[in-house]
């Protein structure tokens, strides 16, 4: 079963170049989404929007993101989340490296294959954070801890569509 | 002949090198934060920079809540009003009794030459959001250093102690809940005055009294209140109810699990208590006292 709207189209598309301002804006929006004051089960299943967006840029446009800005975004995320300083920074750097290292491989797949890859990468990043937290003496919070990875993988097609759409060249059907 | 690719192909250090570098850097930061709390100043600065964005993000929720208030039914309001009136009536009765008791208590304390009971100042704060990190039990409230909130101040709700101010930003502060990992509160059993220390376990709705002997007089349903001997929490705030006591003679200590008395995580308003009591100077060390007494003799 293939979802028609997505499919392998990405690999063949010619997109407009993404400006640094556009990349920055997308991260700003994702950061704001992460800061939403959610509670209860919504918070439990909330995907890490910054992580998913980071994977999008690392996989689709690996030259557009660098480690240094990602590291600082991670630190800012740590402050707003009240987590240990460097926890998100570490996770984002790992995600970034995984995305860039496998960007050719992942973009060969259809959207479902991409989602599986994204799920794997998000899970590995969460496992690393969990390991660090364990060493720092925290208890395992429960299996729901991994739900954001699952929801992150589920929103992958949506994120791809939304972030790519302004980069598609406008086709004027009236023009000859 | 030395050959290097044109600058066009230069992409900086290898991916693995960069990953290693940044991972090490974050691990160092993690270690510094977890072990030595070196990062609190930087956190403060970043927190201030992010504050306006946080406010922007919270605005829709606030507007939504305002709209919900606006369209709430008159019947709901009337029921709530009646309930609140009844509560106020009951509370007024209790308060009158309490005022008499406070006066009597003060008189008795004066007669016995005891120090007057400490009444901390307090201010109401509303909870902005719960910390999103799954490893911590914290809430962020809307009162900060500019409102005079100090680090370490106790935070209560209508039912009891919910936690302690953990980090202070200029316009907000983080409150570590009593259920947060290794959050320690000195408590006292109301029934018999037995003193104990209660520990947070790092997950919701559970606390543990540790280091109580197997034969300690503590039972299921006992109310534990702050004992006030730490000079941090004022005495008499309800902390937890004993849920179960497991006495196994194979272990030196009983296993006592409790549930918080306060509605941790179910209230939108809390009260941040003010500065703590100024305690008399620490007594001199026992060996010193011994020598002094000997000298006197």
Is residue B187 a contact partner of residue B209, using CB atoms and an 8 Å limit? yes
- Residues B146, B224, single domain; the answer is yes
Give a yes or no: residue B202 inside a domain.
yes
Residue B296 within a domain: no
Q: Which has the minimum average pLDDT: B79-83, B89-93, B142-146, B278-282? A: B278-282
Q: Determine the Cα–Cα distance for residues B97 and B90; give it in Å rounded to an integer.
A: 11
B277: DSSP letter: P
DSSP label at B116? Answer: P
Alpha-carbon distance of B225 to B215, in angstroms, equals: 21
A93 touches chain B (CB under 8 A): yes
The residue with greater pLDDT, A173 or B163, is B163
Give the pLDDT confidence score for residue A56 in this predicted structure: 94
The answer on pLDDT for B30 being more than 50 is: yes
Q: What is the ipTM of this complex?
A: 0.84
Same domain, B40 and B138: no
Q: Is residue B231 part of a domain?
A: yes
- Whether residue B38 lies inside any domain: the answer is yes
Instruction: Dump pLDDT digits (tens) for B183-198.
Output: 899 999 999 989 999 9
Confidence at B6, pLDDT banded by 50, 70, 90: low
- What CA–CA distance (Å, rounded) separates A51 from A94? 10
Q: Are residues B266 and B123 in the same domain?
A: yes
Selection from A97, A93, A113 nearest residue A105 by Cα: A113
Q: Looking at the structure, tell me whether residues B52 and B174 fall in a common domain.
A: no
Q: Please indicate, yes or no, whether residues B188 and B270 belong to a single structural domain of this protein.
A: yes
Question: What is the share, in percent, of chain B residues with pLDDT greater than 70?
Answer: 87
Mean pLDDT (chain A, rounded): 87
Residues B193 and B56 in one domain: no
**Are B34 and B146 members of one domain?**
no
Q: Which residues contact A116 (CB under 8 A, 6 or more apart)?
A: A109, A153
Cβ count near B216 (within 10 Å)? 18
Cα dihedral A91, A151, A145, B136 sign: positive
Query: What is the predicted pLDDT for the residue at A4?
Result: 44
- Percent of all residues in chain B with a pLDDT value above 90, rounded to a whole number: 24
Are residue B48 and residue B122 in the same domain, yes or no?
A: no
> If you ran DSSP here, which 8-state letter would residue A165 be given?
G
Q: Do B57 and A101 touch (CB under 8 A)?
A: no
* pLDDT in the model for residue B229: 82
Are both B46 and B136 inside the same structural domain? no
pLDDT in tens, A84-119: 888 999 999 999 999 999 999 998 998 999 999 999
The CA distance from A142 to the nearest CA of chain B, in Å, is: 9
The pLDDT of residue B110 is 85
CATH classification of the domain holding B171: 2.40.10.340
Distance, CA of B130 to CA of A83 (rounded, Å):
12
Give the closest-approach CA distance of A49 to chain B in angstroms: 13
In a domain, B297, yes or no: no
Query: Which range marks the domain in which residue B64 is found?
Result: 13-70
Which pLDDT band holds residue B119 (cuts at 50, 70, 90)? low
> Is the domain of B253 the same as that of B181?
yes
Q: Residues of B numbered 124-153 whose beta carbons fall under 8 angstroms of chain A's beta carbons: which are they? A: 128-136, 138, 140
Q: How many domains does chain B have?
A: 2
């Amino acid at each position: 079963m293939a979802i028609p709207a997505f499919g392998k189209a990405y690999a063949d598309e010619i997109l407009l170049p993404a400006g640094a301002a556009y990349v920055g804006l997308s991260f700003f929006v994702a950061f704001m989404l992460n800061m939403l004051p959610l509670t209860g089960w919504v918070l439990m299943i909330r995907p890490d929007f910054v992580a998913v967006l980071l994977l999008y840029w690392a996989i689709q446009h690996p030259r557009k993101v660098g480690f240094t800005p990602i590291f600082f975004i991670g630190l800012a995320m740590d402050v707003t989340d009240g987590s240990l300083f460097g926890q998100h920074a570490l996770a984002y750097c790992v995600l970034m490296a995984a995305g860039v290292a496998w960007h050719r491989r992942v973009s060969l797949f259809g959207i479902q294959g991409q989602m599986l890859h994204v799920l794997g990468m998000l899970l590995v990043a969460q496992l690393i954070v969990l390991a660090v937290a364990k060493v720092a003496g925290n208890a395992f919070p429960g299996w729901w801890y991994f739900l954001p990875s699952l929801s992150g993988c589920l929103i992958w097609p949506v994120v791809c569509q939304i972030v790519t759409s302004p980069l598609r060249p406008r086709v004027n059907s009236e023009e000859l | 002949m030395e050959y290097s690719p044109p600058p066009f192909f230069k992409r900086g250090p290898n991916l693995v090198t960069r990953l290693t570098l940044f991972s090490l850097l974050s691990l160092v930061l993690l270690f510094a934060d977890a072990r030595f709390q070196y990062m609190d100043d930087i956190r403060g600065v970043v927190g201030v920079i992010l504050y306006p964005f946080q406010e922007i993000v919270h605005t829709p929720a606030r507007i939504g809540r305002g709209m919900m208030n606006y369209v709430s039914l008159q019947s709901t309001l009337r029921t709530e009003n009646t309930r609140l009136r009844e509560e106020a009536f009951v509370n007024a009765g209790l308060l009158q009794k309490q005022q008499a008791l406070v006066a009597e208590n003060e008189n008795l304390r004066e007669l016995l030459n005891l120090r007057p009971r400490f009444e901390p100042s307090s201010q109401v704060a509303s909870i902005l959001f719960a910390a999103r990190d799954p490893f911590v039990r914290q809430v962020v409230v809307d009162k900060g250093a500019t409102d005079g909130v100090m680090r370490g101040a106790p935070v209560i709700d209508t039912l009891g102690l919910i936690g302690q101010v953990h980090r202070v930003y200029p316009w907000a502060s983080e409150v570590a809940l009593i259920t947060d990992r290794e959050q320690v509160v000195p408590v006292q059993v109301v029934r018999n005055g037995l003193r104990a220390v209660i520990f947070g376990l790092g997950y919701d709705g559970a606390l543990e009294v540790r280091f109580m002997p197997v034969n300690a007089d503590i039972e299921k349903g006992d109310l534990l209140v702050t004992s006030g001997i730490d000079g941090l929490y004022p005495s008499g705030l309800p902390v937890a109810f004993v849920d179960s006591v497991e006495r196994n003679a194979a272990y030196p200590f009983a296993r006592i699990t409790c549930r918080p008395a306060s509605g941790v995580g179910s209230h939108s308003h809390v009260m941040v208590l003010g500065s703590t009591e100024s305690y008399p100077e620490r007594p001199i060390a026992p060996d010193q006292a011994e020598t002094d007494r000997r000298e006197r003799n």
